[in-house]
Amino acid sequence: MIALALRVLRDYGRLLASLEPGACALPRSLLPHPPGTIHEASRRALKVVGDSDPALRDALIRGHVFLAQFVDDALAARVRDGQVLLDRSGPVDGVLVLPPPAALEALAEIQRIKADMAQRLAEACELAGLDLALAPAVLPEDRAR
């Protein structure tokens, strides 16, 4: 059972290493295994590793958190397109240009993903026996602290 979990996590880790940072929603079809399988393998590994290997523990926590970014493929495309629209919103020649509904829908989905990531961070820290205040940075703005 542990060998299968290790293979699943190794495949998932390879995928994460190949991705460009910055996307908030990623197509679920990119995953090398079903999300539930990756989630369960991650949970098992976090329980086993605990604090025996902090670098591995932190990598497992990050992977557990990033799984929240993999959403239905069509939703990932809508979020990507909405992010482009959001980037085009704002003041133009002193006039505020409001974002279109598609951009606001993308923003709402991004907020849902971030909330799911926060829940997964808390879950991963609990599984690893790590105080949430000592959690590794998982988002770019976390690294700036």
Pairwise CA distance, residues 84 & 110, whole Å: 13
Rg of the chain (C-alpha set): 17
Is 85 or 62 the better-scoring residue by pLDDT?
A: 62
Q: How many CB atoms lie within 10 A of CB 40?
A: 15
Pairwise CA distance, residues 37 & 44, whole Å: 11
Pairwise CA distance, residues 35 & 43, whole Å: 12
Report the pLDDT value the prediction gives residue 145, as an integer from 0 to 100. Answer: 35
Label residue 143 by pLDDT band (50, 70, 90): very low
Average pLDDT of the chain to the nearest whole number? 89
Label residue 1 by pLDDT band (50, 70, 90): low
Is 113 or 20 the better-scoring residue by pLDDT?
A: 113
pLDDT at residue 125 tops 60: yes
Report the pLDDT value the prediction gives residue 142, as an integer from 0 to 100. Answer: 44
